Structure 1
Amino acid sequence: MDHYTQFIVSARYLLSSSKILSEIPTAVLKRFLGTDPEWPDQISYVVTAGPEAPKKTILIENPWAFERAIAAGLAVTDALVVTFGYGLTRGGDAFGRQLARQIESGTEGLVQLRRYGNPPDLSTLLHHSPLEFWGDLDPEGLRIYLRLKKRLPTLELSSLYEPMKQRLLEGRGHSYNCFTAKAGQSPITPDELNCAPVIDELARLCKTRGIDQEALSVQEIVSHS
């Protein structure tokens, strides 16, 4: 498999440089090869934590919230899963979208890293019951959940959404603009809600304001997990 990655092929056959191939236009490569090149340009890492026999599996949108969940002690009883990779923006939804994309493509090409404890293999974790998702409480966070649920039908929202929901009910949260790095987020549509009515209330609450999952304190994570 490594033989066909972009950087390996470039370094082996183009002046020992791993970067040259990425500088050649795709149209030129397609004409030379007769097909579109599909070499991966990054290693798909998925980081996990938890015991050998977890009570539940929680898919987490970004690494910072994943670390806070470990700090809160969740990995002692539960399995935690988060994506990590090269070339992502600092926005949490970038990590979440990558996780969704990786699971949609299947787990065969994913490299599992164990951050804490000795959790089962990734395939076992993704078929575990209960299986939950915890991400930002905003339209894009809910869309990541919807994408994951199409591939993982038993996936439910984590109870950690409850304190985030309460913050919105209290009038707290942030608007969607460049200052919060959430510009351009559009409300969940009725068609999207038809696929998952369970998110109806949350979708209405976060229509104009959102809560990032990192806003929860370690104490809140402990009390609502």
Structure 2
Amino acid sequence: MSQPLWLVSEPIQSLLRLVVDRLDAAEVRGAEKAQSIALGERTWPTLYQASFESTKEELWEHVIDMCRWGWFDVRPSTAGRSLSGYSQAPRLTVINVAAVREAVNRPTRAKGAGELWREAVAAYLQASTESKRTATGYCIEIEGRSPRDIVECLNQLPGLADSGMLLREVSSRLFWGMSKVLDSRQALVAAVLGLDECPFPESPIQLQVMLPTGQMQGVLFIENLMSFEKAIRSGSSVYQGLALVYASGFKATAKRLRSAQGVSLFYARQGSLAAISHETFEKWLFSDSPSLPAWFWGDLDWSGMRILRTLRETFREVGAWEPGYAPMRAILLDGRGHQPEAADKRGQQPLASTGCGYADAQLLPLLGRGFVDQELFSL
């Protein structure tokens, strides 16, 4: 049957696309067929919002024609015999799915990435049913690689379980040299291996430390590299007795900092290099029982305060360092801070509390006035 020109017109195509969308949704739900579609202003506005009755009748006549071809069934049946049948709150049911799909050039439903991933896991992952259920929640997409290709890579994990490799090494080995595929997917790795925890550690955090030459009296985390470099070279008495640690933003808040396997330590030559100093610092770092007070000093803005709060989740003893923040606070009180938009900090979100008494009482209330960057100061 040669198709009439009206079949490719936008008003009819919009109706057919709606029908195919409903067919696709039904298939995703696992239904055998789509429910009938109620026609009205919401579902087919081109007809129901037309200015002239003649336009409505012409469009409805095309629907009657498609019913005559066996594409649709319309209810009530009287609507299919009248040019004004659109006014009878009609409902369409698809009879010839293939023909309707062909009319909009969508012969099959395009499956989403998540659905393709679930199918590949179910068909090809060599793991228990429970493990497969967990794996379906960790969809991996790699351009140029099919879900089956990726699942087959995961099937190679058992051969690396006892290798002692880092997580990113494993990722590089499995996924065509890409090292970050398994980042934040440790639960997927554990499920594939049938283990409670992922056996591959993350890359150790590189921590830069300057130890005091005398007795160690505390630890100071410093957010910005420039401020850390200025501090270790200053010789100021304000840092006396403190181990200075470069804490690069949120990276320094990772819980693996308190594990010897999770951190690589680099000691600055400007401070003590004595073995006893190293021992004292590392005993504090890797102990859950704080033996030294600790502080954090960074930018006086919402991001810096959020680092303090998150850092306290790993180091309960950490508080805001008053010698560093007091002069920054004075700048805000004097109205000399900068506004977020002046330093490209528009995206920073306010924080209700950090858990540190000094920060919550003296610093957070001032952040509505502006921000102050740590690099401004040399103590």
TM-score after normalising by structure 1? 0.70
The aligned runs of 1:6-17 (5 Å cut-off) are 6-9=167-170
Which structure has the larger Rg over C-alpha atoms? 2
Q: Cα–Cα, structure 1 residues 208 and 115, in superposed 2: closer, same or farther, change >3 Å?
A: same
Cα deviation, residue 77, structure 1 = 3.8
Structure 2 counterparts to residues 195-206 of structure 1, below 5 A: 195-199=355-359, 200-206=361-367
Determine which of 213, 219, 241 is the counterpart of 1:57: 219
Residue-by-residue CA offset, 1:51-97 (whole Å, 9 max, x unaligned): 253232111112221111112125664210124xxxxxxxxxxx221
Residue segments in structure 2 that go unaligned for 5+ positions in a row: 1-161
2:38 is aligned to none
Aligned twin of 2:128: none
* Contact 2:297-2:324 at 8 Å conserved across structures: yes
Structure 1 residue matching 2:335: 3-state secondary structure: coil
Aligned residues: 198
The one of 233, 253, 267 equivalent to 1:114 is 267
RCO higher in 1 or 2 (8 Å CA, sep ≥ 6)? 1
Query: Aligned partners of 1:26 and 1:145: how far apart in 2?
Result: 23
Summarize the Cα distance change of 1:4–1:77 in structure 2 as closer, same or farther, 3 Å threshold: same
* Paired letter, 2:221: L
Residue 163 of structure 1 is aligned with which of 320, 327, 337? 327
Q: Give the corresponding residue for 1:214.
A: 375
2:336 paired with 1:172? yes
The alpha-carbon deviation at position 169 of structure 1 amounts to 1.1
Q: Secondary structure at the match of 1:210?
A: coil
| 1:166-216 CA-partner distances (Å, limit 9, x unpaired) | 111111122113x51322112222xx26x4443222101112411111110
**3-state SS, counterpart of residue 34 of structure 1:** helix
Equivalent in 270, 292, 302 of residue 129 of structure 1? 292
Higher share of residues assigned strand: 1
Q: Distance in 2 between matches of 1:71 and 1:82?
A: 14
Report whether the alignment pairs 1:70 with 2:232. yes
TM-superposed CA distance for 1:125, in Å, is 4.3
Q: 1:183 to 1:2 in 2, by over 3 A?
A: farther
| Separation in 2, partners of 1:60, 1:128 | 20
Task: Please state how far the C-alpha of 1:14 moved relative to its aligned partner.
Answer: 6.0
Aligned partners of 1:57, 1:25: CA distance in 2, in Å?
30
Equivalent position of 1:101 in the other structure = 254
The answer (yes or no) to whether the contact 1:2–1:8 under 8 Å persists in 2 is: no
Q: Distance in 2 between matches of 1:79 and 1:24?
A: 34
Q: TM-score, normalised by structure 2?
A: 0.44
Are the counterparts in 1 of residues 319 and 356 from structure 2 also a CA contact under 8 Å? no
Q: Please name the residue that 2:312 is paired with.
A: 149
Q: Quick check: 2:171–2:182 contact (8 Å CA) kept in 1?
A: no
Contact 1:57-1:125 within 8 A present in 2 as well: no
Q: Calculate percent identity across the aligned residue pairs.
A: 25
Paired amino acid for 1:107: S
> Distance in 2 between the 1:152 and 1:106 partners?
9
Q: Name the CA shift for 1:25/1:201 in 2 (closer, same or farther; >3 Å).
A: closer
Question: What does 1:36-47 correspond to in 2, within 5 Å?
Answer: 39=200, 42-47=203-208
